[in-house]
Amino acid sequence: MKRLRLEKPYGTNVVIKKVECTNHLLRNYINRLRDISGKRKNDKGDVIRGCYRKVVHDRLLRLRYAVTEAIKYRRLEQTDRTYEATLTLLKADITNGPNHVFGDHTKCQSYFCEGQKKGM
């Protein structure tokens, strides 16, 4: 990207930006989670129990849904916030997705979650 910006192959009036689309973001996110759930050892060499890997694998769709809903909400949100501020909030929402899916609702935004479910 830096080289393209410096060389300006399309002329001086054309600004080149990298655009991340939702589909690629979700595909990469789920593929990485799927890889993690398939590995028997972590990066440090410690063994990961099969029950933990199965729980992650079983909740892949819920994890994807959490990211999809966060993107949808932040895209449709009507505020006077800067683009960078919106991206920061979106990053926080995406980072909190696994916490939400696995039952920790302390950092959930009100649009996303109503807190702990009854009976859990």
Check residue 18 and report its DSSP letter: -
Instruction: Tell me the residue ranges of DSSP E strands in the chain.
Output: none
Give the integer Cα–Cα distance in Å for 1 and 17. Answer: 8
10 Å Cβ neighbour count for 63?
20
Q: Could you tell me the residue ranges of all domains in the chain?
A: 22-101
Give the integer Cα–Cα distance in Å for 64 and 25. Answer: 10
The pLDDT value recorded for residue 117 is 62
Instruction: Write the burial class of residue 70 (CB in 10 Å: 0-12 exposed, 13-18 middle, 19+ buried).
Output: buried
Q: Which residue has the tokens 């916490």?
A: 99
10 Å Cβ neighbour count for 2?
6
pLDDT in tens, the chain (120 residues): 688 788 888 888 888 877 777 888 889 999 999 998 888 988 888 898 899 999 999 999 999 999 999 999 988 888 888 889 999 999 999 999 999 999 888 888 888 787 666 555
The pLDDT value recorded for residue 36 is 86
